[in-house]
Structure 1
Amino acid sequence: MTDTNEFLHRRALVVRGGWDGHQPVEATNLFVPFLEANFGEVRVEDSTAVYADTDYLDGVDLIVQSVTMSTIEKEEFAGLQDAVIKGTGFGGWHGGIADSFRNNSDYLHMVGGQFATHPGNAPDQRIGEQSDNYVPYTVNLTAAAADHPITQGLTDFDLVSEQYWVLHDDYNDVLATTTQKVRPWDPFHREVTSPAIWTRQWGEGRIFVTTPGHHVDILENDDVRTIIERGLLWAAR
């Protein structure tokens, strides 16, 4: 009975929007049934305005965000950060969490990683579409991943998609990395390794980020989907 009561009183909030190229509606819809199976209430909002409703956020156990770029108002970020500090979990994938609100450096500080670029294919192979940036790459799990509930039992895996180069700090607990190779047309001269999956403790709240997830087809990859589902549950209060 206790477990049932806890389930019925758990709340998840999905906030989506920003650049349509990351399919924020289709991508979050993919995970709504999973959230409904694990939370008593799931609310979906197409605006960050809900972050300013601090009374509501006080009762939210998990925020799933898919808002690429866009902007956030001062009072909205204040509400979001306050909720996380008090214990609300915060999680997401790709640009929906790692390339949000470029107008707010405090958001970057809280999340711990900011998309910088995704080096693409050779210039003579580009056609002016998103696919110009789809490259084969490997997600390499770290030693810490072996015993972590998000990644336990998983191994390195390969994708063909956008490979995020992330600006980050060492407060992150990194569960997986990916390494940018140097190609003849690149302006950088040595390999660069970026976190691909990380967690972060912010006040009483847990933050979960994974950079794979450009389109629904990547989110449907067994490894990516497993990591996201586990990551969201881990982050939840």
Structure 2
Amino acid sequence: MRKALIVWGGWDGHEPEQVAHVFKGILEKEHFDVEISDTLESFADQEKLLGLDLIVPVWTMGEIKSEYAKNVLTAVQNGVGIAGCHGGMCDSFRTNVDWQFMTGGQWVAHPGNDGVEYTVHLKYSSSMLLEGIEDFQVKSEQYYLHVDPAVEVLASTMFPIVPGPHSANGAVEMPVVWTKRWGSGRVFYNSLGHHADIVEMPAVTEIMRRGFIWAADGKLVSEQKNGASAQQNSYTGMVDNNY
């Protein structure tokens, strides 16, 4: 059975405990063994993290010890998936640039605050991860993020919807859902999820379900590749020894 760790906390306005339990339900339906924690001390044991298939951060505007962040980054680099949403993943630790480098982006603004009505546009790309999900409307915060150019964008939204100083730049297509790689690990992010009711929207729930599975599957793919590489190296060595 695949193992997932959900760690929630930080700013209460994002309803981290409620969102964590929504995610737990999604993962358990996919037959994950799920542990929920409300402390960053859960990132202290690197060996335990390396034994996971998936890490799900639900932590906003916190401070993380450098060794804890390093443990998570190392686990993901070695094949453990990481997946999350909204400020729970890309506004977790504003002073830790390594975390931002791994996750692929950082929140900087949400013009109009909560209650902005906008469209999420699903994009065609080399990934079929969100195939079949239609464009949909949401009424929530519209995240403006600083985004790593290495990410693969799977869904986006258009700015500006709400007037402001950013409007002077004209139309901007902002990523909403993306994937990226961190070493052997898979990274999945969805900027929707200001409150638990947004996560429970059918389209958002389905996006997160697929993202969790995709990120976790990277562990097995990484192990298979490493095993095949080791087998090939062993075979090559045997041939060399015969000469």
Q: Alignment partner of 2:165: what SS?
A: coil
Give structure 1 stretches of 5+ with no counterpart.
Answer: 1-6, 121-131
Q: Alignment partner of 1:101: what SS?
A: coil
Matches within 5 A, 1:75-154: 75-120=67-112, 132-144=113-125, 148-149=128-129, 151-154=130-133
Taking the aligned partners of 1:79 and 1:94, their CA distance within structure 2 comes to 22
Matches within 5 A, 1:1-237: 7=1, 10-120=2-112, 132-144=113-125, 148-149=128-129, 151-181=130-160, 183=162, 185-188=163-166, 189=168, 190-236=170-216, 237=219
Letter in 2 for 1:78: K
Q: Is the 8 A contact 2:118 2:161 kept in 1?
A: no
Q: Is the 8 A contact 1:87 1:205 kept in 2?
A: yes
How far 1:179 sits from its partner (Å)?
A: 1.0
Taking the aligned partners of 1:175 and 1:29, their CA distance within structure 2 comes to 25
Letter in 1 for 2:46: T
Give structure 2 stretches of 5+ with no counterpart.
Answer: 220-243
Runs of 4+ in 1 over 4 A off after TM superposition: none
Larger Rg: 2
TM-score, normalised relative to structure 1: 0.87
How far 1:182 sits from its partner (Å)?
A: 5.5
TM-score, normalised relative to structure 2: 0.85
Letter in 2 for 1:138: T
Taking the aligned partners of 1:227 and 1:119, their CA distance within structure 2 comes to 24
- CA-based RMSD of the aligned residues comes to 1.4
Taking the aligned partners of 1:216 and 1:153, their CA distance within structure 2 comes to 24
Q: Is the 8 A contact 1:52 1:78 kept in 2?
A: no
Q: Alignment partner of 2:77: what SS?
A: helix
Identical amino acids, percent of aligned pairs: 41
Q: Is the 8 A contact 1:182 1:191 kept in 2?
A: no
Letter in 1 for 2:35: R
Cα distance change on mapping 1:13 and 1:182 into 2, 3 Å: closer
Taking the aligned partners of 2:131 and 2:160, their CA distance within structure 1 comes to 27
Q: Is the 8 A contact 1:134 1:162 kept in 2?
A: yes
